[in-house]
Amino acid sequence: MEGGSACDPNGDSCVACGGVGQPCCQGDRCETGCCDYSDVCVAVGATCEGTKSCSGANACEYCGVHGTPPCPGAEPCQNGACLDAGTNRCVAAGAEGSTAGMVCVDGAFVTCGGAGQACCQGESCNDGGCCTGDRCVARNAPCGGLTGGTCGAVTPGGCGSCGGLDQPCCEGEFVSDPFCTGPGVVCVDDYRTCLTTNGCCKRCGAPGEPCCDGNLCEGGGCCDGGECVAAGNNCGSGGGVCSGSRCIGPEGSCGGLGDDYCSGVNCTAPYLYRYSSTCEPCGGEGEYCCQGSTEWCGPGLECDGSRCSHCGLSGEPCCDGSFCVTGSCDNFSDCP
């Protein structure tokens, strides 16, 4: 494509268009780069349309977030996501990569599952341990925080009388943030199912089960209105067939990254939030809180209003359940 001319937005004359730093040509086209929201062409490798990267002529694509290639520059994965060298794809905070026993925390893969280590994906800990404050607590050890219980005293993965499979959810600092401590369960806020106002912890991720935290379903399934649909099965509300965690129908796809949300279902792929009419990343630092049975942010983050922010370190807010990395949460919900 050769450069052309376009109307000057500040006057009635024609100006050169299509080159880097020049106005975009008709149809939002550029000669070698990409058209940004400002209607100015940016170079290949530059940020475009807010959270995307220009990978080639008129190819403004997502990068740096879960399931996408790394962005060019010093920060290949954004907002606490990690680069999986085995797949050359970014992995969301709290998710596992291609190496077993590792989980993404604050931009780096760390060993998970052992006592004192980060919880693995799905709040999983080894040997019946409990996931509290994003860390694994050994069985028969105190869980700490607001749980007030001993790990595994009643149910594997449960902290005393809460957090394990079929137990009530553990209480958070606020009504909106109860949580579970066992593996592969999610807090379901349904009085008819739980017979408790605080919700209860139910198995998640398999077809017919509730979606896990971060709207995650197993095997490329789709989170369809809070319930997992298996890949190859129909999505609800006529959205098409579930494939790769998005719904594919006669009019294209919905529910995946950058897609329109699916009518009556919202976003179906993991770590996505319905923003206006499209599905955008959630759960990472500075991103929107993921919406599901409860609001969710990745490890070391809490939902502060509608966005995920750091928690647990000195001077920061306590993480959900009144947990701090060191010391105890004070009366003002801050870590010492």
158-203 pLDDT, tens digit each: 999 999 999 999 887 655 578 999 999 999 977 666 776 678 999 9
Q: Is 326 left (phi over 0), alpha (psi -120 to 50) or beta?
A: beta
Q: Is residue 97 part of a domain?
A: no
Q: Is residue 229 part of a domain?
A: yes
Q: Is residue 51 part of a domain?
A: yes
Q: How far is CA 108 from CA 79, 97, 137, 246, in A?
A: 11, 11, 21, 27
Distance of CA 101 to the CA centre of its chain: 20
Contact of 158 with 168, CB cutoff 8 Å: no
pLDDT category of residue 49 using cuts at 50, 70 and 90: confident
Supply the range of the domain harboring residue 232.
218-281
pLDDT: is 36 or 6 the higher one?
36
pLDDT category of residue 1 using cuts at 50, 70 and 90: very low
Q: Is residue 317 part of a domain?
A: no
Last residue of a domain, one of 23, 47, 62: 62
Q: How many domains does the chain have?
A: 2
pLDDT: is 26 or 221 the higher one?
221
User: In whole angstroms, what is the distance from residue 67 CA to residue 37 CA?
Assistant: 24
Contact of 246 with 269, CB cutoff 8 Å: yes
For residue 237, the SS3 value is helix
Last residue of a domain, one of 31, 62, 93: 62
Contact of 56 with 42, CB cutoff 8 Å: no
Q: Is residue 263 part of a domain?
A: yes
Q: For a pLDDT cut of 70, what percent of the chain falls above it?
A: 92
Q: Is residue 10 part of a domain?
A: yes
Q: Is residue 205 part of a domain?
A: no
Q: Is residue 138 part of a domain?
A: no
Residue keyed to tokens 């594997």: 156
For residue 193, the SS3 value is helix
User: In whole angstroms, what is the distance from residue 205 CA to residue 236 CA?
Assistant: 17
Last residue of a domain, one of 253, 281, 309: 281
**Nearest one of 112, 121, 122, 164 to 139, comparing CA atoms:** 164
- Note the pTM of the prediction, 2 decimals: 0.85
Per-residue pLDDT at 10: 58
Per-residue pLDDT at 239: 75
Per-residue pLDDT at 191: 62
Given a cut of 60, whether residue 3 has pLDDT beyond it is no
Averaged pLDDT for residues 9-30: 84
Averaged pLDDT for residues 273-296: 90
Q: For a pLDDT cut of 90, what percent of the chain falls above it?
A: 61
Average pLDDT, the chain: 88
